[in-house]
């Protein structure tokens, strides 16, 4: 265990940024998102949730895969350079770290996504416990402990200090690289434990603390898919992509070609199952209504994904969709709607 006083955080960020890229929650135009640190950055570690998750540090919203140039039959393919420098993501929440684990299941499985894998190999995750959980949070539903976040290094913010605990070999190396700024705090484990206890007591008071996933597993595919509940549920959906774009686990993307004066850039960008051209193929689209598209999102997160990934749900309970959906629809309302049907006890 190590610690650093809050006043010295700026020095810590400067030290990290001296040799690596440093991403952390920064305020831009009144909104807090993960961004690159520089001396002028308005760091907001106090903000519980960034608008977007830190997903796009590993899986950017749009990225070029390769570029083709040339004329006639002479085409040169220029591969995109892969990330080859270490970088640090500072201040990820426990839910966001789990979000990256969900992405790992998709992008690091065979065949591995080399673009993503390079970023994961070079990224160091410094997570932070949630000192002030909010009503939209429900990470505990997915077995996530906001008081003990995973990652390479876990951190806890107390009134005066930031405590840091390396969890992996990468984390140990990170600590070593900034050790001159840190104080050893082996004898202060109790301070961190007290903070964890305080956080867990808050978690017990959250309105979604009893949200249950009973009945959401691969075995329920047909029952859920065919349910008439979707017919009412989807109707306020605007078919925008807000939920998918602020989500830490939504991983669908589209690949397109962009014609430039010199040639073609093949890029990929986040896709959204809410959009009418999602999975559109030459032969048409297998989901032609918003009901089907809406259902797809939740079936994927709560049925298909766990069925294919040893029970891991592709929702982490961060609550961003709860806060951001323009029509106030979200995964919690979906879970509750089905629970009511089954006569369960979600309140």
Binding site for other proteins (CB under 8 A): 28-31, 33, 48, 51-52, 61-62, 132-136, 202, 205-207, 232, 235-236, 238-242, 244-246, 254, 256-259, 267, 269-272, 275-277, 280, 322, 324, 326-329, 332-333, 336
d(C-alpha 61, C-alpha 246), whole Å: 11
Least distance CB 309 / other proteins (angstroms): 25
Least distance CB 275 / other proteins (angstroms): 6
Least distance CB 176 / other proteins (angstroms): 36
Considering beta carbons, is residue 35 or 306 the nearer one to other proteins?
35
Least distance CB 293 / other proteins (angstroms): 13
Least distance CB 312 / other proteins (angstroms): 25
Considering beta carbons, is residue 64 or 177 the nearer one to other proteins?
64
Considering beta carbons, is residue 110 or 204 the nearer one to other proteins?
204
Least distance CB 335 / other proteins (angstroms): 10
Considering beta carbons, is residue 97 or 331 the nearer one to other proteins?
331
- CB-based contacts of 213: which residues, under 8 Å, 6+ apart? 141, 302, 313, 335
Burial zone of 273 (CB within 10 Å; 0-12 exposed, 13-18 middle, 19+ buried): buried
Least distance CB 26 / other proteins (angstroms): 12
d(C-alpha 289, C-alpha 27), whole Å: 38
Considering beta carbons, is residue 136 or 140 the nearer one to other proteins?
136
In angstroms, what CA-CA distances link 136 with 128, 211, 238, 305? 18, 12, 21, 23
In angstroms, what CA-CA distances link 120 with 55, 96, 278? 11, 14, 27
Considering beta carbons, is residue 80 or 242 the nearer one to other proteins?
242
Burial zone of 96 (CB within 10 Å; 0-12 exposed, 13-18 middle, 19+ buried): buried
d(C-alpha 168, C-alpha 154), whole Å: 10
d(C-alpha 168, C-alpha 153), whole Å: 7
For tokens 């993960």, the residue is: 34
Considering beta carbons, is residue 2 or 208 the nearer one to other proteins?
208
Considering beta carbons, is residue 120 or 324 the nearer one to other proteins?
324
Least distance CB 185 / other proteins (angstroms): 27
């Amino acid at each position: 265990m190590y610690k650093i006083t809050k006043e010295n955080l700026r020095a810590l960020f400067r030290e990290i940024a001296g040799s690596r890229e440093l991403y952390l929650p920064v305020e831009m135009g009144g909104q807090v998102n993960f961004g690159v640190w520089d001396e002028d950055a308005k760091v907001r570690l106090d903000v519980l949730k960034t608008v977007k998750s830190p997903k796009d540090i590993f899986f950017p919203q749009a990225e070029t895969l390769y570029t083709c140039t040339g004329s006639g039959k002479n085409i040169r393919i220029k591969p995109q350079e892969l990330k080859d420098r270490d970088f640090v993501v500072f201040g990820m929440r426990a839910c966001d770290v789990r979000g990256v684990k969900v992405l790992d299941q998709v992008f690091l499985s065979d065949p591995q996504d080399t673009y993503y894998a390079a970023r994961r190999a070079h990224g160091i995750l410094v997570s932070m416990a949630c000192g002030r959980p909010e009503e939209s949070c429900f990470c505990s539903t997915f077995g996530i402990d906001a008081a003990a976040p995973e990652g390479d290094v876990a951190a806890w913010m107390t009134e005066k200090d930031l405590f840091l605990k390396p969890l992996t070999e990468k984390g140990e190396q990170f600590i070593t690289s900034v050790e001159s700024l840190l104080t050893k705090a082996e004898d202060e484990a109790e301070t961190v434990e007290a903070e964890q206890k305080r956080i867990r007591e808050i978690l017990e008071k959250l309105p979604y603390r009893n949200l249950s996933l009973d009945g959401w597993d691969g075995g329920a595919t047909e029952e859920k898919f065919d349910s008439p509940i979707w017919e009412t549920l989807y109707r306020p959906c605007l078919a925008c992509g807000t939920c998918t774009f602020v989500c830490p686990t939504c991983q669908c993307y589209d690949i397109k070609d962009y014609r430039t004066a010199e040639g073609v850039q093949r890029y990929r960008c986040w896709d959204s199952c809410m959009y009418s051209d999602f999975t559109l193929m030459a032969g048409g689209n297998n989901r032609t209504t918003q009901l089907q598209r809406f259902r797809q999102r939740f079936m994927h997160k709560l049925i298909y994904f766990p069925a294919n990934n040893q029970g891991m749900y592709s929702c982490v309970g961060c609550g961003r969709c709860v806060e951001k959906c323009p029509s106030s629809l979200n995964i919690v309302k979906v879970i509750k709607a089905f629970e009511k049907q089954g006569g369960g006890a979600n309140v």
